[in-house]
Amino acid sequence: MLASSRLLSIAAAALAGAAVAFLAVPALVQGKAEAQPRAVTPRGPLAADELANIELFKKSSPSVVHITSLGVQRDMFSMNVQQVPRGTGTGFVWDADGHIVTNFHVIQGANAARVTLADQSTYDARLVGQFADRDLAVLRIEAPKDKLPPIAVGSSRDLLVGQRVYAIGNPFGLDQTLTIGIISALNREIESFNGRSIRGVVQTDAAINPGNSGGPLLDSAGRLIGVNTQIASPSGASAGIGFAIPVDEVNRIVPRLIRDGRFVRPAIGVSPGAANLHRALNLPKGVAIVQVVGGSPAARAGLQPFRRGNRGEVLPGDVITAINDEAVNNFDDMLTLLENRQPGDTVTLTVWRDGRTRKQALVLAAPN
């Protein structure tokens, strides 16, 4: 009995010793050592370009906003209608009065829009004006002025290929995203959503994705140099080719949208002929006139349209080949040159008719 008790005590002591040994060596689990946390290496000083990027984002991002366009949808179980999101995009604060600049296509077809500021406060927006030809629109919100830091405006006439640029926007709905690249090319031409050409466009490899539309493209000083508008991509996502409307165009159009509620292009009062008319009659490049509006500047200046004679023959008309000595190759060229002027301005047309060229002055009128 004593022997048995002694054996039990020895066994118990052995087990206790084993338990102590197990508890004393926690790193041994099923024959493997537990991973231990690595010592953290203190972060070294940031590079100068990193500090510049951080500072630019801190300074510029409060001026960038998130835009949600809204449509009306009827409830499937009742006759009630409600506003529902249609899409999202980006915009930026133009002035402390609450004017927000974005792309026309961001709000195209929407019944309403909401603007979310950098501090996540949200405001209902009203449309001030839009100009589809340049894919630009202006909204306005009623917000405290201290929440509306206007973006710094630069120039696009002195940009250089290779200089660094920054895009801030809301790609795929992700707020306040910064991407960095360079100017890849200048003076590109893209097509707006209504078929008009947008010229002088800035091309960049800074990542631009759906949702970036309407956001700012900035130079290294944080100044606005373009409005991000389109990408060239086979997949619908960034492929390193993005396009921005040059800020000089923005600065020309936005103040007029704010002032007039629309972009007023002065009129001459003519209708253009189709391209095949030029080919059929072997006409020079320009705008062949096929109709002159009665009482218009063109009518007062004596411009003549191409027309049919009594025997069905085509009677000679006028072709506008230049405005103030700037070449007009087609109707789009003419509209672009007129957009740089105001109703009441006097311009000099270069007009070709039946092999002869003349200069003709006329005063531009407001469109009907």
The segment with the largest mean pLDDT, out of 64-73, 84-93, 194-203, 240-249, is: 240-249
pLDDT of residue 67: 94
Pick the catalytic residue from 66, 69, 133, 135: 135
The mean pLDDT of 50-74, rounded to a whole number, is 87
pLDDT digits (tens, 9 = 90+) for 77-121: 444 444 444 578 999 999 999 999 999 999 988 888 999 999 999
Give catalytic status of residue 105 as yes or no: yes
pLDDT digits (tens, 9 = 90+) for 17-48: 444 443 344 444 455 567 788 888 888 899 99
pLDDT of residue 86: 53
Of the pLDDT bands very low, low, confident and very high (cuts 50, 70, 90), residue 206 is: very high
Pick the catalytic residue from 105, 192, 205, 333: 105
Of the pLDDT bands very low, low, confident and very high (cuts 50, 70, 90), residue 71 is: low
pLDDT of residue 264: 84
| Residue 356 CB contacts under 8 Å (≥ 6 apart), including other chains | none
Domains (range + CATH), the chain: 59-147 (2.40.10.10), 164-260 (2.40.10.10), 270-363 (2.30.42.10)
Give catalytic status of residue 248 as yes or no: no
CA–CA dist 116, 67 (Å, integer): 6
Asked whether the predicted pLDDT for residue 177 surpasses 70, the reply is yes
pLDDT digits (tens, 9 = 90+) for 286-334: 999 999 999 999 999 999 999 988 888 889 999 999 999 999 998 888 9
Closest CA to 73 of 64, 84, 65, 63: 84
Pick the catalytic residue from 69, 184, 213, 238: 213
